[in-house]
Structure 1
Amino acid sequence: MTGRPAPAGLPPSLRVWLGLIAVLAALVIVVLGVLYAGHSEPGRVDARIWAAVDGVGPPWRQVALATDFLGEPVGAATLVVATVTGCLLLRRPRAAVLVVAGVGMTVGTTTLLKHLVGRTIHGGYLSYPSGHTAFFTALALMVALLATGRLCLGRTAGTLLVLATALVAGAAMGWAQVALGAHYPTDVLGGWCTALAVIPATAWLVDRMADWLVDRMAGAGRRQRR
């Protein structure tokens, strides 16, 4: 098989830095999970932030509700379909696979963590980590990785773009969740870190599997020509 190799979902220039960030994010997830396991009340930091943000009035409440909708099933599915379609139009099938796999892994991880940690809000709803924040941050991360590859950004510029995009997306959805009283602030931080931990690992796995399939197909093609 000949031709240019498919662009990597995780640009090689970012692998080391995003790998380190993923490890740090995983540590934060574990620490917060241990601190708030089984709790049903806000911590001291949560209470202070919540008091300043919770219960916003119009028009900001409408903004928060619109942002929250993007993490609900219909809104999230619409975003995923639009992102996958954009990847395919840009002829980046590996990025499209990463979007589907990344969303699946992020949602699955947050669901598992919710049951393991057992932190609740409003009388029994599992809250840690915030699935809305994790999803929105994960999708933003994958779009930023695609942009980094398309623009051929170097390590520094690419890392800054990815982190800035993740920060903006996480802050927007996190603010909405806290403002609507759906999550504690530390739930939001846990969701943000979940995306930072899951997406680089998922992108690396997608790249490895795609490269393995390409090698297998190339080997089969050579055997057929003999």
Structure 2
Amino acid sequence: MNGPKIQISFAPGLGVFVAAERRTGSTALTTDGTSSLGHVVESLGVPRTETGRLVVDGRPVDASHVPAAGETVEVEGVARPQPVPGAPLRFLLDVHLGTLARRLRLLGVDAAYESEDIGDPALAALSAEERRVMLSRDRGLLRRRELWAGAYVYSDQPEEQLRDVLERFAPPLAPWTRCTACNGRLSDADKEAVRERLEHGTEKTYDVFAECVECGRVYWRGAHHSRLEEIVTEAVREFGAPTTA
């Protein structure tokens, strides 16, 4: 590039996306004089889904702003909680985020999940078709223009991933109302109606059941329930009381 020179800085949380020399303070950048500021920021590694306000010489500007010589640019992260206008808040997770998908479903959050790698173009198209927020650690996927909305999942640890998504989007919580296997709704089930699908020990020990209206999976409060209860209790404590599904 041999165009206008600007000074640019990034919010600390965006440091994961940019080169090491741009992670602290303001650094010089030569632009081409025609590209929008949104394009410039994305070319430096920050997916558009992670870019918040763009501030030039102390005033917010649109992503379409073309930088001029001598301008000082500050790139902020997205505001939290982040509003998602125009549709019920629903998510789509890629093949690498299965545990996060199951934990969101446990909390009653609508979280579609692709258990097979269907490819970035198909995922982006599905996000647009169903108006779902794409959650991924794939930066290339989050740069696709077809996406309806998206968010980078910053951690590779399920506990931190869940906290990140709940803090960022503040989805309504309705624990124990979704199937963790398929995302379908759960309804109360009579023991007699599901008896044939229960193992002998389960049939003898438990009396309260729920059934997925989509896939027919049967749920009960078995030995694993205490761990799931911990996840639910912690999420509700930190991110708000559950709502009625």
Q: Which has the larger radius of gyration?
A: 2
- Same fold? TM cut 0.5: no
Q: Which structure: greater strand fraction?
A: 2
More RCO (CA 8 Å, sep 6+)? 1
Bucket of the pairwise TM-score, normalised by the shorter protein:
under 0.3
Q: Which structure: greater helix fraction?
A: 1
TM-score (structure 2 length as normaliser): 0.23
TM-score (structure 1 length as normaliser): 0.24
